[in-house]
Structure 1
């Protein structure tokens, strides 16, 4: 009897949580290893793609809720499948795909997600002059960006005060929570011209082959010389202008950030 009561209590609060997400219409992915997008509200349904941690997604205007119990990390988790509109994952699904479904226990509403990132961010005194750049669709990534097998947090930042030209200087910081260190490691990217142009900020998974197409646009990978390929055993990220050509793969190597130009 007690276990049944707990089940219904949990189900009730899950319903309230799911409804809040629907009301807000915008939410963020909290699964560090990514959130699977499925064609239908079922664990056995076709996989359409995956959202990385920190992706801002829009729930469909016609979102329906489908209660389900999934076995996750060895534990039964009760939640809802919610429908999302395709314009939030055009990079992850085919053009003719109109909708998809994700499991809501890996979603936070915008206010909750920003508050969580801000809480961790505020612990670093080196960042007291900065604030989160939440205007970008993705402003926070999780991954092993420093190649030490520790999950780092990469964040888009902007200064709290405007510069002389009336703009907010922007930068990107990597926060490394190495439990063996006395002080968490804070690593800023060292580009001098700021990052006002960044519109695309996405994680590139370890093992993805990288190369520059700056000299020869759209060169196929099989035509790239071996000496020009970069194959990392850890994660990096792609910075790119949202509506224009120009950007780079940004990766840590030889104790500094390196850049491969992409057009």
Structure 2
């Protein structure tokens, strides 16, 4: 939620609140979407307080009852946008109350849970199917712009180590998308974009699909614009306690896909990797470790 209600009031009153009301106040700051969606009783349970505590907090904040607070949060959620500034304000408020270590811990805990979710059977099946389609394609076009660029680039880099069929649509000089015009029904586009979705990525994916190119999407929702274009969508979580959406899960998906495709390529991948190693050695790309001095 970009602009959660009552943040200033909660932060201003926090130090004067009893422990139980502080626990309830922290819940409002840390889980604004849940405030709008969950019942007061369930929120109290998750906050570790009695339901009456939520009502007492509402009255301390000048409201008639907790339903009024829930209505404020529901209205804010309906009107939320994709901007970063409001999210940063909410993060600053939580960080001021809980400290830097708490924010870092929350982010790491969130990322750990997201990685675990990617290991669920449905997600693993989708990853295996995507790798199968990538391996079978004549040429693979990798597309990701703005925060998703690293996702596309990493997949392209791994694929370029094991073969020569990967093309990165990187928009250098504004011409990166032009190469998709050479793609056909034997080719595949892997496109990555999460909310806020990048217009050019979605438009290029639609163009490719219109030409009969198979599309695999790495995105954050089954109903995201890319998911609606793609024949197969790999859905990654992006929720984060930070103002910035989490990109680590999408990056992990790219890395897993590269490894799976390499395994499917078998001896051909091994031969390509040997040539790659020989080239790196010829140019002295990597520092060589030295034996420790006695």
TM-score range relative to shorter protein: under 0.3
The answer to which structure has the higher strand fraction is 1
Q: Scaled by the length of structure 2, what TM-score is found?
A: 0.24
Larger radius of gyration: 2
Question: TM-score, normalising length from structure 1?
Answer: 0.26
Q: Which has the higher contact order (CA 8 A, sep 6+)?
A: 2
Between Structure 1 and Structure 2, the one with more helix by share is 2
